[in-house]
């Protein structure tokens, strides 16, 4: 049993809790998610099962979309409503001011992860240092906010949709918007509506189901590895080459010329499949596809990044 299932995470459990729930329901040993959601948050949590866990590194790079609620006038130590309140004040702002503050968050920026977050610093999650009273600051990371759209303003709360790069903390955006408005702010609700190609419409809810019902629902919605990375070009190989790839072979250019090769350039990440329905490996091109049969034909043409026994 290999693949990805998109779970509709409820508010409360951690992302790791959801992964453990999937493992128990399916009776599998290996599973992992592709990007942490805070306990408060709900929505799209892709969970890779067995061999598909080897693809987490590629899926974790996906852009994300969220629906968030900003509560103005409240500052907390965790930047959301689950933390200790640091200050309160009445937000006296107009819609135009709110729109301007949120619009000001768009674009490329550096963002320091919140002190209460799972980012690893010196081998430990940042929240572990914070809870021990040790002031350790994580290095800033580059993120990008592609778009922000206000959906509703019912002061003191503002609900907005945001599209962003991986690693973006929406809690931090809420706090920044609050400071820009002069009254402070924190996040009161968050739902991930998209992670890469995975959307909330296809997410599976597990709340209230028995163990057998969970297993049936998860199994019915398990996406096979060949469907997980739809943007990667595909080279479908025969069984002998598939076996060689799984045994560590790094193919030379002339070996690949007997297969249908899409237009590729050096650096493109590709998938090797068997019979179109088994994912054999993920690799990076070391040359363009039109160079495979050239004088470089006897040289290594791709670098295998991951091998799957799907």
Chain-wide mean pLDDT for the chain?
Answer: 91
Question: Region 277-306: what's the mean pLDDT?
Answer: 86
- 71 and 171 part of one domain: yes
Q: Could you tell me the pTM of the whole model?
A: 0.89
- 36 and 135 part of one domain: no
290 is catalytic: no
- 166 and 276 part of one domain: no
Residue 257 confidence (pLDDT) above 90: no
The better pLDDT of the pair 228, 310 is held by 228
- 191 and 68 part of one domain: yes
Please count the structural domains in the chain.
3
Phi/psi of residue 289, each to 5°? -65, -30
Q: Model confidence over 148-166: pLDDT tens digits? A: 999 999 999 999 999 999 9
**Domain enclosing residue 54, as ranges:** 3-62+197-226
- 58 and 7 part of one domain: yes
User: 212-216: long-range contacts at Cβ-Cβ below 8 A with a sequence spacing of 24 or more?
Assistant: 214/21, 214/25, 215/25, 215/26, 215/27
From the candidates 38, 62, 80, 310, give the one annotated as an active-site residue.
Answer: 38
- 42 and 89 part of one domain: no
Tell me, what CATH number does 269's domain have? 2.30.130.10
* Tokens coding 248: 């560590």
Residue 129 confidence (pLDDT) above 80: no
- 201 and 108 part of one domain: no
What is the reported pLDDT for 299? Answer: 84
Residue 296 confidence (pLDDT) above 70: no
Give the span between the Cα atoms of 225 and 16, in whole angstroms.
21
Query: Is 114 in contact with 79 (CB distance < 8 Å)?
Result: yes
Torsion of CA 98, 100, 102, 105, to 10 degrees: -150
Residue 185 confidence (pLDDT) above 90: yes
Residue 117 confidence (pLDDT) above 90: no
User: What do you get for the CA distance between the two ends of the chain, in Å?
Assistant: 9
Tell me, what CATH number does 106's domain have? 3.30.2350.10
- 79 and 46 part of one domain: no
What is the reported pLDDT for 271? Answer: 96
Phi/psi of residue 51, each to 5°? -60, -25
Going from the C-alpha of 267 to that of each of 52, 234, 264, 296, 300, the distances in angstroms are: 22, 14, 9, 16, 13
């Amino acid at each position: 049993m290999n693949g990805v299932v998109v779970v509709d995470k409820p508010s409360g459990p951690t992302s790791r809790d959801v992964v453990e729930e999937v493992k128990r329901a399916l009776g599998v040993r290996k599973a992992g998610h592709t990007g942490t959601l805070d306990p408060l948050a709900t929505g799209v949590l892709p969970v890779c099962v067995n061999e598909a866990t080897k693809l987490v590194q590629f899926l974790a790079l996906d852009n994300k979309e969220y629906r968030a609620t900003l509560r103005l006038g409240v500052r907390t130590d965790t930047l959301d409503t689950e933390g200790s309140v640091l200050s309160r004040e009445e937000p006296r702002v107009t819609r135009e001011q709110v729109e301007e503050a949120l619009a000001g968050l768009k674009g490329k920026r550096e963002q320091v992860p919140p002190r209460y977050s799972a980012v690893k610093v010196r081998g430990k999650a940042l929240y572990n240092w914070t809870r021990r009273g040790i002031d350790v600051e994580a290095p800033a990371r580059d993120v990008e906010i592609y778009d922000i759209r206000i959906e509703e303003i019912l002061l003191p709360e503002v609900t907005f949709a945001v599209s962003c790069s991986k690693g973006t903390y929406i809690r931090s955006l809420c706090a920044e918007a609050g400071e820009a408005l002069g009254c402070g702010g924190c996040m009161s609700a968050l739902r991930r509506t998209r992670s890469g190609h995975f959307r909330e419409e296809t997410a599976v809810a597990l709340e209230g189901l028995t163990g057998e019902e969970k297993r049936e629902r998860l199994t019915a919605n398990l996406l096979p590895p060949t469907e997980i990375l739809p943007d990667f070009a595909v080279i479908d190989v025969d069984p002998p080459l598939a076996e060689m790839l799984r045994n560590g072979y790094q193919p030379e250019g002339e070996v690949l010329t007997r297969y249908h090769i899409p237009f590729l350039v050096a650096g493109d990440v590709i998938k090797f499949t068997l019979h179109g329905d088994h994912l054999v490996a993920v690799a990076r091109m070391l040359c363009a596809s039109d160079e495979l049969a050239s004088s470089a034909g006897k040289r290594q043409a791709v670098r295998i990044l991951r091998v799957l026994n799907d």
